[in-house]
Amino acid sequence: MEELVVCAERIAASLKAKKETVAVAESAAGGLITAALLAVPGASAYCLGGIVIYTRQAWEAMRDFDKSLLGGYRSATEGNALVRARLARDRFGATWGIGETGAAGPTGNRYGDQAGHAWVAVSGPREQAVRIDTRNTQRLANMHAFAAAALRLFEESL
């Protein structure tokens, strides 16, 4: 977690200096992206919140979510990660959104993605997404890798 927080500290400084905000919609990282951002003192100045969308029921819990926004994208795809990033940005009214979706392991997901496969995305003044393939079946290691990749991508986007 320390590595994630070190990156989050740099992100926090940049967001505060620019008076920008971020929100997160993550899945296989299980809340680690949001936790890292919130671990930095003064997080309320830049981190508006996060949601872990881990199951179909989690999507359903978002009462007014327009399913057509998913555009047919299944989990663990670039399109789905971008939808999550945009959703976080729009729902929280943030400058930036971070989205993550993947298969943490120890097995793959029901769509045939292997453990260690994920997509992370950033949406805001610029958008980009990156595919992650750790080739690892260790769940906690993958969760950490997905969160680290998301934070690195966000820092690069800033």
Indicate the CATH number of 2-157 among 3.40.50.720, 3.30.930.10, 3.30.2350.10, 3.90.950.20. 3.90.950.20
- Residue 64 contacts residue 71 (beta carbons within 8 Å): no
The first and second tokens of residue 20, run together, are: 């920008």
- pLDDT category at 57 given cuts 50, 70, 90 is confident
Integer angstrom CA distances of residue 97 from 32, 34, 105: 15, 11, 25
Helix, strand and coil content of the chain, in percent to the nearest 5, comes to: 45, 20, 35
pLDDT at 70 over 70: no
Q: Which has more pLDDT, 141 or 54? A: 141
pLDDT tens digits, 88-146: 999 999 999 999 999 999 998 888 889 999 999 999 999 999 999 999 999 999 999 99
Of the candidates 151, 158, 121, which has an alpha carbon nearest to the alpha carbon of residue 4? 151
pLDDT tens digits, 149-158: 999 999 999 9
122 has which bridge partners?
Answer: 98, 128
The first and second tokens of residue 152, run together, are: 């690195």
Tell me, what's the pLDDT at 28? 96
pTM, rounded to two decimals? 0.93
Which amino acid is located at 33 in the chain? I
Tell me, what's the pLDDT at 76? 78
Of the candidates 137, 69, 78, 40, which has an alpha carbon nearest to the alpha carbon of residue 145? 137
- Residue 112 contacts residue 100 (beta carbons within 8 Å): no
Mean pLDDT of 80-89: 94
Which one-letter DSSP state was computed for residue 45? Answer: G
Tell me, what's the pLDDT at 55? 82
Share the mean pLDDT of the chain.
92
Mean pLDDT of 48-58: 88
